[in-house]
Structure 1
């Protein structure tokens, strides 16, 4: 391999693969040149504009999660209203997850080509329309149609949010900001739980009032984003494109696909595992608490609030730790600890379930807290919103039937139904325990064999060296191959590009 690099030729794929596999254990060693830092001082590195970018991205991702979980939290009520089974209603969840990838393609390309601002605003406007419309559906087919459209709208927001929050973020603050951003998902779930309890069981319109309420906050988020400019990283990219007499974005997009196709495949595979992890542990859990364990509305609300508080704490802590522990090792630790908590999470029915749900979601979202920056550092700068969003949503597509699978398998384990109740009870806990054990193991293995580009440059400079290089033998790759041989972290895009490929 060294001879190939010295001669200017790319080493054969089997040599690169052999070296990659040989360094999977050694590459887990935490970097010695990144000391532990006080998280308060780390966050103090963000200036006012960077904080505003983070907050608007956090708000958008939070409401995406709120809109998604309105269905899983009200599945039983919607089923009764539309005269369907809970399993039928979970197909609405599945449709959203299946069609998110369409939105990721559309809005991801728009975000990378035309900016982060207006595609984000368009996403939020669609949230208003579809959430409002869902509250008016009268038939099951109308419900499925609205959720399908919602899936397209929701699919475009994640990559944009990650780019908006992290592109201009200081290097040493990336990990903790990533963890905080990702917990917009858990915070949205928490808000959905609270407002579901406040509206669904106390208003005459029931579950419909929750959807109508959900249409209002995105209007405020739109106003917030209107007041902010584009990110500095995106402005720098457009300035670079303006210096070229050729269609720079198209050329850079082609170079990205040519050079990063194998990284993209890896990102889809790992995001499949991550989405199975989150949806497998969350979507059907409220139904299990209600139908199997017989929890009252108040007790379900308290349990799910505790779970999401654990998620928020875990995501922030693990995201912060990934900066000096390493992205992959942090994810693997979360998976191991999460797997150890599966049994009490599903089989405890007394007060101990509170601790179990807290720490299980602490680990699930702890692993997730690393994901925004992990994906961003492995993605090519000119297509960051597109690649981050698409890999996330293709993972959603692959895992879209998680709740339906669990609900269907659960029907094989019927429980005795108390007299006077019309809904059949099933042992969902047994199915969810087996399912989550397998998912934690899958994510652990995939992460172990995956790449890492911690502290890679998130700006576009340097990528122009790849645009006209049809054979991939430019000076950027040659120099970075030497760095990859030494397994030393770098802070330029040229080096980031090749380390990700190694």
Structure 2
């Protein structure tokens, strides 16, 4: 892997000149391509609903099981720890067998475990279910991103990446709305949030069931059928190519894990304990904390979509750098005020930066990945980063136990955890780390990864191209006249030969 420094932050002129106009390409997208993009987006949205069901239910879970905030956040940590296993399992299945069925079964597994989480009676049962749940959740992102992006034209992948990634924010938003409206109105309380999330995941599996396999796998199967000859042991080829890929790209793997560790600390450090921070350190009601969370996620959606679109012109890494700098600028607004309006504005701005940077990640990782391993490589890098950052909520909870502040509760001073200071320090340090790692990393802006062989074909690790990637050169007026004149001369010559 070659290191690229600041002079390489903007994509090369040649890359940008070959891109077709945005609206021209947009008009060429078929219904099936839109539907596949939607199914990937919906799957990632379900993942977020399922994950943040715990974050939004911390107070209710404390009452249910008689546990501290630190104990409840153990469930979040265990879920994040086990997601790496799911990323490896479902990523390999997807690169080996195709995008469709691994994603369907992944969503069904998530739905079953989310349903089970709503029936647990003890805290040990809850931890066990959420640990298994992490395996199911771990596979979703890599499969969803590859399903959503690889079937779209390269000129749309930047903004599509932003939309796809912000399924995460939309999922958090939907979970917050369900928690705000449905949970208080049902006798089962917090359990209704988990059961509703389970139903949405089953709906996403049904949508994917109705759609065809990804075009790159259909093309590979058609090529196999046309080739004839003795059958090839695809699994043996897949394992051989995987070994070759790891040997060739081990440094890139380390880089991707470091990058995703920083990004996951940014995300989980700014979101997982945020509702608890507002209720415990700012004395907000659960209702107001949920509303502030909703406002923050509106900023996340706006930031992700804007950054995805911007990255198509500025490049992936420069767009990330811009949004990470925004994070640093808005940390004071996020933690210092005490009024609802100011803190809600801070939540909007900080999430605009955090999820704006994140909006570039699906396409950025897909482009720098070995092309044949677009589900496994990004998914595993993402979830290993998740595993390293899994203690984010517990780090903040422990920091809150050590750092205290005094607030007024019903006119009386009360000592409470100072989650504002803890989160501000954590996010500031992590933002600086992400900035450095992003700047020194690689970029493959505008990669046509869909033209390469897939993982069970010989030569996949060598990144062999099976479709011509060279643009057809434009014919100038002079060249056209010369060719026309040449055709006339040839025609006269053939006529004379006949005579």
- TM-score where L is the length of structure 1: 0.85
Aligned residues: 457
Shift of 1:76: 1.2
Match of 1:357 among 344, 347, 352: 347
Change (3 A) 1:420 1:148: farther
Query: Aligned to 2:448, what secondary structure does the other structure show?
Result: coil
1:450 aligns with 2:431: no
User: Is the contact made by 1:237 and 1:382 (CA closer than 8 Å) also made in structure 2?
Assistant: no
1:278 aligns with 2:270: no
Residue 364 (structure 2) aligns with: 374
Shift of 1:258: 2.0
Larger-gyration structure (1/2): 2
1:343 aligns with 2:324: no
| In structure 1, distance between residues paired with 2:372 and 2:91 | 11
1:97-119 residue CA offsets vs partner (Å, 9 max, x unmatched): 00000001111111111111111
User: Is the contact made by 2:217 and 2:454 (CA closer than 8 Å) also made in structure 1?
Assistant: no
User: Is the contact made by 2:37 and 2:148 (CA closer than 8 Å) also made in structure 1?
Assistant: yes
Shift of 1:255: 2.4
User: Is the contact made by 2:454 and 2:460 (CA closer than 8 Å) also made in structure 1?
Assistant: no
| In structure 2, distance between residues paired with 1:206 and 1:452 | 47
Residue 93 (structure 1) aligns with: 76
Residue 67 (structure 1) aligns with: 50
1:403 aligns with 2:393: yes
Long gaps (5+) in structure 2? 471-499
1:41-61 residue CA offsets vs partner (Å, 9 max, x unmatched): 554342211100010111110
| In structure 1, distance between residues paired with 2:190 and 2:455 | 52
Matches within 5 A, 1:73-472: 73-239=56-222, 243=227, 245=232, 247=234, 248-350=237-339, 351-416=341-406, 418=409, 425-459=416-450, 461=452
Query: Aligned to 1:204, what secondary structure does the other structure show?
Result: coil
Shift of 1:261: 1.6
User: Is the contact made by 2:50 and 2:114 (CA closer than 8 Å) also made in structure 1?
Assistant: yes
| In structure 1, distance between residues paired with 2:456 and 2:57 | 52
| In structure 2, distance between residues paired with 1:455 and 1:359 | 29
Shift of 1:241: 6.0
Query: Aligned to 1:201, what secondary structure does the other structure show?
Result: helix
1:391-438 residue CA offsets vs partner (Å, 9 max, x unmatched): 1100100100001101101111234474799x9731100000000000
Query: Aligned to 1:230, what secondary structure does the other structure show?
Result: coil
1:463-496 residue CA offsets vs partner (Å, 9 max, x unmatched): 79995699x8x9x79xxxxxxxxxxxx957xxxx
Residue 486 (structure 1) aligns with: none
User: Is the contact made by 2:142 and 2:376 (CA closer than 8 Å) also made in structure 1?
Assistant: yes
Q: Which moved more, 1:251-260 or 1:301-310?
A: 251-260
Shift of 1:240: 5.2
Change (3 A) 1:222 1:245: closer
Query: Aligned to 2:121, what secondary structure does the other structure show?
Result: coil
| In structure 1, distance between residues paired with 2:216 and 2:460 | 23
1:295-349 residue CA offsets vs partner (Å, 9 max, x unmatched): 1233222211111111001000101111110111111111111111111101122
> CA RMSD for the aligned pairs?
2.6
User: Is the contact made by 1:45 and 1:173 (CA closer than 8 Å) also made in structure 2?
Assistant: no
Long gaps (5+) in structure 1? 1-16, 478-489, 493-502
